[in-house]
Structure 1
Amino acid sequence: MEMEIKQVIRKWMEGEINNFIKVWFLVIASLTYSYFVSKIVQKGPSRLLTFIPVIFLNILLPLNLHTLHLGVSSGFFLAWLCNFKLLMFAFDKGPLSKNSSNLSLSHFLALSCLPIKAHGHKNNFTKTSQKGLNSLWNYGIKLLLIPFFLKIYDYEEYLHPKIILVIYTIHIYIGLEILLAIIGGLVKSILGIEIEPQFDEPYLSTSLQDFWGKRWNLMVTRVLRPSVYEPVLNISLRFTGRRWAPLPAILATFIVSAIMHELIFFYMGRRWPTWEISCFFLLHGVCLVVEVAIKKYLVGRSGLPRILAAPLTVGFVMATGFWLFFPEFLRSNAMVRATEEYAAMGAFVSDVYTALISHGL
């Protein structure tokens, strides 16, 4: 019986990897089309029209993948990062527009989908990239924590639900950081493109503005800022003046982020939205607007000391996350599925290794 289950898992994993290869083959083909079309079509609505089929394809392709690690990550890279970069590139904005005439096809493909910078060379590490990479010890310790978390889940029924949610939070953060570090490291070693830091110790945040703008998931910030925040800011300047123009821009950014998170969660669980995720981001958007307004009103006056501000900020993020963010995450049965995928991937890698050994490779 156990052998039959393992065979089913292996066949399922092989099928998923085959689908993954097909999906990304289509991605490369569609982005190659976008690359050459941009050479002959002027920026503006005309170029946007040529990109629309690619944008829709990027939304649909992740639906062919059903695992958390391949499906959700592909959905994030394609439906969010790639599409927003293409939308900006249609009007000659964003990272793809910088020196686009000198951008090679391979760099265009990588830059479109992945959280990397347009400039940088091998072995040319800046302070920022060093900070983003941290050290091998840092990633090694975090990597060792994952099997520890998986073991804890075996005793989930004996632990308080809030403790499990805290472990989920840490697991997600570590998993994201390691996944992005692996992808970034491969891209840097192959193409020599500088890696963008994705997290900057978010648990040290002293305000919501610090957490969302400078520390958490920075690649999303770098995409949303030029594509949503800055355009809305420019419009707001005409009506509210420079002092208060950032407030509607902040709220608009969180609304767009809420919509995109609902899409990512749909990829994860194939469930129609319950809108709790949207409520989470709208709540944080409103709270951040209030926070910024208070700072503007109290300009020049001292705020809370770091020793109080940091735990209050992180506590608020975690409390609202437990209330609105994680229920949908749990309904997707994400952690159980992740554990099964780790086992399936291990079995698949073992089969590949055995096959290579048997052929003398």
Structure 2
Amino acid sequence: MSSELISFVKVILISMASLLYCYFIAQKLSKGKFRLLSFVPVFSIFVVLPLYISSTFLSSNIAFFITWLTTFKLVLFSFNLGPLAFDSKVSFTLFASIAFLPTRIKHNKIAKYVQNHDDLGNDPHPKLPLSLPAKVVVFAMLVMGKRHLEIMDPIAKLYVNCATLYFYLDITMSLSNVFVRSRFGVEVRQSFDEPYLATSLQNFWGRRWNRSVSETLHTAVYQPVRYEIGVPRWMAVVIVFVVSGLMHELLLYYIIRAIPTWEVTWFFVVHGLCVAVEIELKRALGKRIKHSKTAKYAQNQEEVDKEPRPKIPLNLPAKVVIFVMLIMGKKYYEIVDPIAKLCMNCATLYFYLDMIMCLSNVFVRSRFGVEVSRPFDEPYLATSLQNFWGRRWNRLVSETLHNAVYQPVRYEVGGPRWMAVVVVFVVSGLMHELLLYYIIRAIPTWEVTWFFVIHGLCVAVEIELKRALGKRWQIHWVVSGPLTMAFLVATAHWLFFPPLLR
């Protein structure tokens, strides 16, 4: 392990030194063939770097991010193209970050970045679709489930592998985007755009799956072949897929270190031919085939561009897919670790409730035109119990209890704030206990009620402490967030889930 770590550090240092050479040599040579020739030694080094590492995980990452993406970015930079071609001189740290990390930037201009200063005004905190913490949780669950792949159905195994690959790539690229944007102020774009909603192969490969690679191949391969050499559109598309297939074949060689079978290359060749046929058919048939609005949106036609499709946070189809995977995984509960089982139970409950309420919102909004609000607001990002129960978890129930219980107790009866809060949680606990009785038809053990009573007391204490201390004592969200989730999971494991699991 220590020798592997030393080899990895050496690879990183060699990569940084090579990139430093490119950074300074580019200032001496103008764009064109001479700059490209000066980069050739670096390309040669990048090709052999993954071979110095035996770890499958590390070598595959080095091969993808450095041997492939960084090499292609430097080829484009030779002609002052691509993400490294900024309109003004940039620092080496930014240059290296863009070169090594799979980041998609909106443009090559440096924007001033403001970190939560007063001049942000009322600018809302940006939200990540299919929020990054949610992706991390789902990815962790998939990785934990991999130890049971041998006993899974082939179809379930296929879904797990596909989902694991997608979430790993998306998490890595999202983290790269977060780092580059927060550190350097460069506007970035998502690398994945809900690929599970693709309406065609062209839509999948061109606009939804790993757009960082798609854009790199488009600039480095498609445009030169199409416009410099002058080949037909369909041939340029096929050549792009052939290059992509060869690069994936090289990645596979770095991982398994075996003679290529060329199956991966043929996978991309077949898809390239299909995409080429699709493009030519669309071009030939034009408007003779009627498209739905969704299809037009996917093909980026002008009339739909003016009215973009609204996106659902943590998109509903994604929730359905994850929920189905969780349900399929329940058949392996006997062999799953207790912690993994607990995480699966929490996730299953959350996704089920969120899907039901999202579907209700979709129906009411589409049928009657009534504006609706989201019932859940990323509860896994809660920073306190008050924040979790009051603003993030099942806000429909929270608002109902606030109007039906809290306000009468607080303002009609005249009870103190903390008492009104506790009464709300007691009522919620009793209603949950009644729901549990309808489900299991057994004498209540009152564990669920006590779960809510304990949380009600904790929320009441939290509110009074905040009121008394004000801003004199605050816990950073980095600390309070994990503590909140740990308390929720621990108490749920102790009181909420046992009656259901029994």
| Residue 25 (structure 2) aligns with | 37
1:49-198 equivalent positions in 2, closer than 5 A: 49-99=37-87, 101-116=88-103, 117=105, 118-119=108-109, 120-123=111-114, 134-135=128-129, 138-198=131-191
| Residue 322 (structure 1) aligns with | none
Q: Is the 8 A contact 1:207 1:309 kept in 2?
A: no
Would you say 1:277 and 2:264 are equivalent positions? yes
Change (3 A) 1:303 1:67: farther
The CA deviation string for residues 190-218 of structure 1, in whole angstroms up to 9 with x for no partner, is: 33333331100000011111101100000
How far off its partner does 1:141 sit?
A: 2.3
Distance 2:66 2:292 in 1: 41
| Residue 36 (structure 2) aligns with | 48
Change (3 A) 1:67 1:295: same
The CA deviation string for residues 150-178 of structure 1, in whole angstroms up to 9 with x for no partner, is: 34333333322222011110111011111
Aligned residues: 285
The CA deviation string for residues 212-245 of structure 1, in whole angstroms up to 9 with x for no partner, is: 11000000011111110111111464x6xxxxx3
Q: What RMSD over aligned residues (CA atoms) do the two structures have, in Å?
A: 2.7
The CA deviation string for residues 90-131 of structure 1, in whole angstroms up to 9 with x for no partner, is: 2222222232x522222221222223323344359xxxxx9x
Q: Structure 1 unaligned runs (5+)?
A: 1-11, 125-129, 240-244, 311-361
Q: 1:216 aligns with which of 199, 209, 213?
A: 209
Q: Is the 8 A contact 1:266 1:272 kept in 2?
A: yes
Change (3 A) 1:307 1:195: closer
> Quick one: which amino acid aligns to residue 163 of structure 2?
I
Distance 2:51 2:202 in 1: 34
Q: Structure 2 unaligned runs (5+)?
A: 116-123, 298-502
Distance 2:177 2:102 in 1: 7
How far off its partner does 1:303 sit?
A: 4.6
Q: Is the 8 A contact 2:222 2:237 kept in 1?
A: yes
Over alpha carbons, which structure has the higher Rg? 2
Change (3 A) 1:286 1:139: same
Q: 1:234 aligns with which of 214, 220, 227?
A: 227
Higher relative contact order (CA 8 A, sep 6+): 1
Change (3 A) 1:156 1:111: closer
1:301-340 equivalent positions in 2, closer than 5 A: 301-303=288-290, 305=292
Distance 1:178 1:21 in 2: 23
1:239-254 equivalent positions in 2, closer than 5 A: 245-254=232-241
Q: 2:199 aligns with which of 202, 206, 219?
A: 206
> Quick one: which amino acid aligns to residue 110 of structure 1?
S
Would you say 1:19 and 2:7 are equivalent positions? yes
> Quick one: which amino acid aligns to residue 28 of structure 2?
I
How far off its partner does 1:25 sit?
A: 1.2
> Quick one: which amino acid aligns to residue 228 of structure 1?
V
Change (3 A) 1:179 1:92: closer
Deviates more, 1:85-94 or 1:152-161: 152-161
TM-score by length of 2: 0.53
Q: Report the secondary structure of 1:298's partner residue.
A: helix
Change (3 A) 1:196 1:271: farther
Change (3 A) 1:188 1:15: farther
TM-score by length of 1: 0.72
Q: Is the 8 A contact 1:206 1:309 kept in 2?
A: no
Percentage of identical aligned residues: 34
